[in-house]
């Protein structure tokens, strides 16, 4: 059965707008591996998930955007001719409209009502889903939404969403999240080379489930810390130019090439670079392990990724570490690690189909013992890219 919009969205629409709504769905994503590599031109392996942001939309006769969300306070309004950040939750929506207009799209005024199933700040890309979903809806209202095979149109939307995040929201994010939202396919992960923008769909083995274990912890400084990590990676590249004048990104170095030059790079940039360079290699290893269904190998690769994120990139947290440990001893666990930008959020786990309840029970009890907190555990499937509902 195709996914259905939340009934509360349709109920709330009746009070929001007189015209019947058009409905669009933009998935969240979970990154299986390849963390903090996207803005270093590296490799990532996310998949879109069955938790989505839903957009109900109708055109207006004027040039106003009127945007509300079931999860957020207040109605955001702006004229298409005067789009600027308002420092509210709606900036991603206004930003994607501004970026599409910058690209030459002639958008029309619209009422947009949003309902999101994606927990905010959990590292599951609620922001990109909002930006891509709103952008898709606005394009659809002028018959310009990219179809399933329109790769160029889908990439334009992904780039507009990323630019909205940079210019209106203020996080200098990479391309992974919007790219996954526009290109993903059900039952597959998306291998993406963030330098060439080549992609490959990687089938997820049958007989497994993805369990997302949310620590419930969110860090207010996530965006500024994220931007700082990005600067530290840029500082590593700048320092390495002493020995490699043509270097433009950490992607261009293998772990052994980096080891030879590492002493040129001051800390903490050195550890940040070591994470990124080793993580690129782990993405390729993970794709091979998934294809071979070699679970012990995948478990070791994901554990190495988590360790590197904790020790070298320093984006894990005591709660994320506790959640990873809790999963490792739970029934049905195959492989897992923290996922997304970090600083709080969730872990991703491959578990055996049929073990969902036992796994959730085991993780919850162990996490409660270790942290005194309640875990929120969601079993998801790999979903399709953004599109009409």
Applying CB under 6 A, the residues found at the interface with ligand GLA are 31, 35-36, 38-39, 125, 173-174, 176-177, 340-341
CB closer to ligand GLA, 78 vs 237 = 237
How many CB atoms sit inside 10 A of residue 3's CB? 15
CB 325 to ligand GLA: min, Å: 22
CB closer to ligand GLA, 280 vs 355 = 280
CB closer to ligand GLA, 125 vs 280 = 125
CB closer to ligand GLA, 31 vs 317 = 31
Dihedral angle sign, alpha carbons of residues 157, 137, 174, 49: negative
CB 291 to ligand GLA: min, Å: 22
Give Cα separations from 256 to 233, 253, 259, 267, 278 (angstroms). 18, 8, 5, 18, 10
CB closer to ligand GLA, 110 vs 180 = 180
In DSSP terms, which residues pair with 53 in a beta bridge? 26, 116
CA distance 184 to 44: 13
Give the chain as a 3 state SS string: CCCCCCHHHHHHHHHHCCCCCEEEEEEEEEEEECCCCHHHCCEEEEEEEEEEEEEEEEECCCCEEEEEECCCCCCEEEEHHHCCCCCCCCHHHHHHHHHHHHCCCCCCCEEEEEEECCCCCCCCCHHHHHHHHHHHHHHHCCCCCCCCCCHHHHHHHHHHHHHHHHHHHCCCCCCHHHHHHHHCCCCEEEEEECCCCCEEEEECCCCEEEEEEEEEEECCCHHHHHHHHHHHHHHHHHHHCCCCCCCCCHHHCCHHHHHHHHHHCCCCHHHHHHHHHHHHHHHHHHHHHHHCCCHHHHHHHHHHHHHHHHHCCCCCCHHHHHHHHHHHCCCCEEEEEECCCCCEEEEEEEEECCCHHHHHHHHHHHHHHHHCCCCEEEEECECCCCEEC
CB 338 to ligand GLA: min, Å: 10
Q: Which is catalytic among the residues 177, 312, 321, 384?
A: 177
CB 32 to ligand GLA: min, Å: 11
CB 226 to ligand GLA: min, Å: 7
Spatial strand order in the sheet of 333-338: 333-338, 344-352, 208-218, 376-380
CB closer to ligand GLA, 107 vs 222 = 222
CB closer to ligand GLA, 90 vs 340 = 340
Q: Is 198 a catalytic residue?
A: no
CB closer to ligand GLA, 36 vs 156 = 36
CB 305 to ligand GLA: min, Å: 11
Q: Could you give the residue numbers annotated as active site?
A: 177
């Amino acid at each position: 059965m195709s996914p259905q919009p939340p009934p509360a969205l349709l109920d709330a629409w009746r009070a929001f707008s007189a015209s019947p709504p058009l409905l669009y769905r933009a998935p969240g994503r979970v990154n299986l591996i390849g963390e903090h590599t996207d803005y270093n031109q590296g490799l990532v392996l996310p998949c879109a998930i069955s938790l989505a942001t839903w957009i109900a939309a109708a055109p207006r006769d004027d040039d106003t955007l009127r945007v509300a969300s079931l999860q957020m306070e207040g109605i955001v309004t702006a004229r298409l001719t005067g789009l600027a950040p308002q420092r509210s939750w709606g900036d991603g929506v206004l930003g994607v409209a501004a970026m599409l207009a910058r690209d030459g799209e002639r958008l029309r005024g619209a009422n947009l009502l949003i309902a999101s199933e994606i927990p905010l700040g959990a590292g599951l890309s609620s922001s990109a889903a909002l930006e891509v979903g709103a952008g898709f809806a606005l394009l659809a209202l002028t018959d310009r939404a990219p179809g399933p095979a329109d790769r160029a149109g889908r990439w334009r939307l992904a780039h507009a969403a990323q630019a909205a995040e940079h210019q209106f929201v203020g996080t200098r994010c990479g391309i992974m999240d919007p790219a996954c939202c526009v290109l993903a396919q059900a039952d597959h992960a998306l291998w993406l080379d963030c330098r060439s923008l080549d992609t490959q769909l990687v089938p997820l083995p049958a007989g497994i489930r993805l369990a997302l274990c949310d620590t419930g912890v969110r860090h207010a400084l996530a965006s500024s810390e994220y931007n700082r990590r990005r600067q530290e990676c840029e500082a590593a590249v700048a320092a390495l130019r002493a020995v490699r004048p043509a270097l433009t990104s950490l992607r261009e170095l293998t772990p052994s090439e980096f080891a030879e030059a590492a002493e040129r790079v001051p800390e903490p940039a050195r550890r940040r670079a070591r994470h990124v360079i080793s993580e690129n290699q782990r993405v390729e290893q993970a794709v091979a392990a998934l294809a071979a269904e070699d679970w012990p190998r995948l478990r070791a690769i994901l554990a190495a990724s988590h360790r590197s994120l904790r020790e070298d990139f320093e984006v894990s947290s005591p709660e994320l570490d506790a959640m990873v440990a809790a999963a490792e001893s739970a029934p049905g666990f195959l492989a897992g690690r923290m996922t997304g930008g970090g600083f709080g959020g969730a872990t991703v786990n491959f578990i055996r189909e049929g073990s969902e309840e036992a796994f959730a029970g085991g993780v919850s009890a162990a996490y409660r013992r270790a942290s005194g907190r309640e875990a929120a555990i969601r079993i998801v499937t790999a979903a399709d890219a953004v599109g009409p509902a």
